[in-house]
Structure 1
């Protein structure tokens, strides 16, 4: 699961802490293998035109294709650095959504009044998970799969029940 509960220690440490992150299907070492295989597959047809002026006509397109794939994968990695941290104390609860390009967004409420809500019939996002408290509703685990959001809902509801 791309989330884990942490038991922090310290004088002002929360009772429970939850970290959520997006799933990574392509690891860094696999990225190198993928780019190498792509370059190899594009270079093989170019071997037939080595030494002719056609090579210079095709070479820019080869470079643009590899650079485009490289950029798209790097952007995907950057977007995958999203982190959500949910901390629960007896008297307050805070959620920090840390995005590498959009900065940090925070929310805080009293856990006694927080309502964990899941919308199983949402048209766009199945099992849409939100926290409602302090006159505001915030989304939790947008990047998780349907099953992971449902599991997180049950887990978080139980944790809040145990802590309050």
Structure 2
């Protein structure tokens, strides 16, 4: 699961934290291997025309394809660099969202007034989870898939009760 508890729920202690991040199917070390393999496979046909003028006609397309793939994968990594941290102690619940490009977003409410809500339909995503407390309602884990949000909802309900 792309989230991690400071201690497994249900929580017996009054203080705990939860960290959430988007799922990554291609890790950074695998990215290097993938790009190396792609460069090798694209460069193989260039070996046939090595030393001829045709190489200079095909080389720009090789460079364009390789750099386009590199740029697209790096842009995906930058957009997915989201981290949400929920910290709950005996008095307050504090949610911090670290956005990839933009300001950090903070939300804080009295722990005893915080409620967890699941919106199966009608939200921006299926099984949309929000925390309501104080005068605001904030989303949590919108980048998770639908089944992960359901599991997170159950975990959050149990943890907020404890």
TM-score, length of structure 2 as denominator length = 0.88
* Deviation digits for residues 133-160 of structure 1 (CA, Å, limit 9, x no counterpart): 2221111001111111111111111111
Corresponding position of 2:136: 136
> Are 2:40 and 1:40 aligned?
yes
- Superposed counterparts of 1:86-101, under 5 Å: 86-101=86-101
Aligned counterparts of 1:93 and 1:124: Cα–Cα separation in 2: 24
- Give unmatched runs, 5+ long, in structure 2: 8-13
- Give unmatched runs, 5+ long, in structure 1: 8-13
Aligned length: 156
Structure 1 residues 146, 105: CA separation in 2 closer, same or farther (over 3 Å shift)?
same
- Superposed counterparts of 1:5-84, under 5 Å: 5-7=5-7, 15-84=15-84
Structure 1 residues 158, 17: CA separation in 2 closer, same or farther (over 3 Å shift)?
same
Runs (4+) of structure 1 moved beyond 6 Å? none
Aligned counterparts of 2:125 and 2:80: Cα–Cα separation in 1: 19
CA RMSD of aligned residues (A): 1.6
CA drift of 1:49 comes to 2.0
* Deviation digits for residues 2-52 of structure 1 (CA, Å, limit 9, x no counterpart): 111115xxxxxx711111111111122211221111111211122222222
